[in-house]
Amino acid sequence: MLLVRARVGLGDLLCSGPAVRALRARLPGARIAILTYPEVHPVLERLHPEGIERLALPGWPGIPERPVEGAALPGFLASVRAERFDLALQAYGANPAASGLTEAVGARRTGGFFVPGSLPAAPDLGTHLPYPQHVHEVRRHLRLVEHLGAPAAGEALTVPIGPADEAEAAALGVAPPYALLHPGATSPSRRWPLERFATVGDALAARGFTVALSGVPGEEAATATVAGAMRAPAVDLCGRTGLGGYAALLRDAALLVANDTGSAHLAAAVGTPSVTLFLSGDPVRWSYDAPRHAVARTQVECNPCPHLTCPIDHRCADRLTVARVLERAEVALAAGRCAGG
């Protein structure tokens, strides 16, 4: 079985984890592979230690996550078609181009998500499922595998943490109790103003927390700006851990305050109280159990929205106040932590 999952976001990959586990439990001896970009293969190797293979995708026309390596496409198609998978599943989402890729890999049968009316021929409804738009990302993938006969075995997100990860986190020397702020996000429409993160950081420091800033490589300017704007000292950890070390660091934090990005999903996986700032994003699709994983959001005329960069005045960010975020932080802290999200 081949899962076409051409996603690069940590949240996307975490959210499909319960469905992959359900497939493996239903088909313990079957070959299961995930087709996605090579840079996320190490993440999948960590998230799926239960024998899930990974095939490299050089991009595909109409799938926006990465540019298409056009010269590599003929060799890629010949290679994946030679595998002769019994079933290829479109596990990307509501994108007809992903359905085209799923058909192109040459499996004996195809299935997965589809947008009604977008396919050139009527789909086999025994293996295809109309994309369920208005449910949580975890549940929509579980619906797909349940449709195929693999019952759900729980919705919890998981990320393995080993001794090397523990050592990496400990080497950072962040003194507990500490709170993490994650001011970055892939798209500008999901980024709350940095000066407001700084004000939140000062409030958490006044409450007795050591404040640390996290981010992925490329977000150094954002974390440095927040640290520079704070009156209290902050530890800037941007780019200083791998996924496992960050997961261990986050697991032992008292609180995470983050934009709607991968760190918020990781907090759900490790059970750390969190506040996720939803601006353009949709909490119906991406939030977790309240009150431990609190949502900070203000309803405006246009959110949630699909824009990566706000085409107007970014009112969803401007109208979300520091006071509201701190109120939600108190709710999450009062709820406490648990063993998993």
Q: Where are the domains of the chain?
A: 2-147, 164-335
% pLDDT > 70, the chain: 99
Q: Which residues pair with 236 in a beta bridge?
A: 213
Which pLDDT band, with edges at 50, 70 and 90, does 340 fall under?
very low
pLDDT at 122: 87
Tell me: pLDDT of 136 over 80: yes
CATH homologous superfamily of domain 164-335? Glycogen Phosphorylase B; (3.40.50.2000)
Instruction: Give the chain's mean pLDDT.
Output: 96
- Name the 3-class secondary structure at 7: coil
The pLDDT of residue 337 is above 80: no
Nearest-angstrom CA–CA distance, 265 and 256: 11
> What's the pLDDT at 338?
58
pLDDT, tens only, 148-163:
999 998 999 999 999 9
Q: Give the model confidence (pLDDT) of 288-336 as tens digits.
A: 999 999 999 999 999 999 999 999 999 999 999 999 999 999 999 999 8
pLDDT at 119: 85
Q: Is the pLDDT of residue 14 over 90?
A: yes
Which tokens sit at 68?
A: 């298409």
Whether the pLDDT of residue 339 is over 80: the answer is: no
Count how many Cα atoms sit within 13 Å of the Cα of residue 294 in the half-sphere of its side chain. 22
pLDDT at 118 over 50: yes
Asked if the domains 2-147 and 164-335 are classified in one and the same CATH topology, the answer is yes
pLDDT in tens, 214-249: 999 999 999 999 999 999 999 999 999 999 999 999
Mean pLDDT of 36-58: 94
pLDDT higher than threshold 90 for residue 267: yes
DSSP designation for 294: E
What is the third-level CATH fold of 2-147? Rossmann fold (3.40.50)
Where residue 341 falls among pLDDT bands split at 50, 70, 90? very low
pLDDT band at 121 (very low <50, low <70, confident <90, very high): confident
pTM above 0.85, yes or no: yes
User: What does the alpha-carbon distance between residue 245 and residue 216 come to, in Å, rounded to a whole number?
Assistant: 12
For strand 210-213 and strand 53-56, is the pairing parallel, antiparallel, or unpaired?
unpaired
Do 32 and 145 contact (CB within 8 A), yes or no? no
In 3D space, the residue among 267, 286, 284, 244 whose CA is nearest the CA of residue 332 turns out to be: 267
Query: What pLDDT band is residue 49 in, cutting at 50, 70 and 90?
Result: confident
Work out the average pLDDT over 2-31. Answer: 96
